[in-house]
Amino acid sequence: MRASGQLVGEVLRELRGLVEPGITTMEIDQAAERMIRDAGAYPTFKGYNGFPYSICASVNEQVVHGFPSKYELQEGDIFSIDVGVTLNGFVGDTATTVPVGDVSEARMKLIRVTEECLQLAIEQCREGNHLGDIGSAVQNIPWCANM
């Protein structure tokens, strides 16, 4: 499990570095597949229930788990990448949202607040806690203020 988690983290870091205006979400997908296969793993999502890509790619307001496409990322977009790898029978799965070039303060705030929510949720993942503890920690953030 550790090896698949480390690999998916490395792949995601590399993909983040590719994000810039002009690159297509399909090019990001193709890079992900190359990296994953070069590491001796395979892209978990590809073929799952017929899903044809190695990553899920969502731009701006698109719903999560979008399909990569010929869309060229534009200055000011935010791009969500969800990637999974299967290595030695174990799955590592992670996601992030990346600003494309200079983005609005509202979009940067969205990214910051969601990262804060994730950190608060992770802090609640410990023995003796319940799923409701995670929800409570996250929903008590005044994330809407001044959005």
Q: Are residues 16 and 37 in the same domain?
A: yes
How many domains does the chain fold into?
A: 2
Domain encompassing residue 132: 104-147
- Report the alpha-carbon distance of residue 147 to residue 140 in Å, rounded: 16
Are 86 and 33 members of one domain? yes
Same-domain status, 72 and 85: yes
Q: How confident is the model at residue 63, as a pLDDT?
A: 86
pLDDT at residue 56, rounded to an integer: 97
The answer to whether residues 62 and 92 belong to one domain is yes
Q: Rounded to whole angstroms, how far apart are CA atoms 6 and 132? A: 29
Cβ–Cβ under 8 Å, residues 115 and 99: no
55: which strand partners? 83
CATH of the domain at 94: 3.90.230.10
User: Do residues 74 and 140 both lie within one domain?
Assistant: no
**Tens of pLDDT along the chain (147 residues)?**
999 999 999 999 999 999 999 999 999 999 999 999 999 999 999 999 999 999 999 999 998 899 999 999 999 999 999 999 999 999 999 999 999 999 999 999 999 988 988 999 999 999 999 999 998 888 877 754 444
Strand partners, 57: 81
* Beta carbons within 10 angstroms of residue 105's beta carbon: 8
Residues 47, 94: one domain?
A: yes
Give CA separation, 111 vs 16, 41, 98, 104, in Å.
14, 30, 8, 11
Written in H, E and C, the secondary structure of 84-141 is: EEEECCEEEEEEEEEECCCCCHHHHHHHHHHHHHHHHHHHCCCCCCCHHHHHHHHHCC
Residue 135 and residue 115 share a domain: yes
Rounded to the nearest 5 percent, the helix, strand and coil shares of the chain are 40, 20, 40
What is this structure's pTM?
0.88
For residue 145, the model assigns a pLDDT of 44
State the Cα–Cα distance between residues 98 and 92, nearest whole angstrom.
Answer: 20
- Residues 13, 84: one domain? yes
Domain co-membership, 67 together with 91: yes
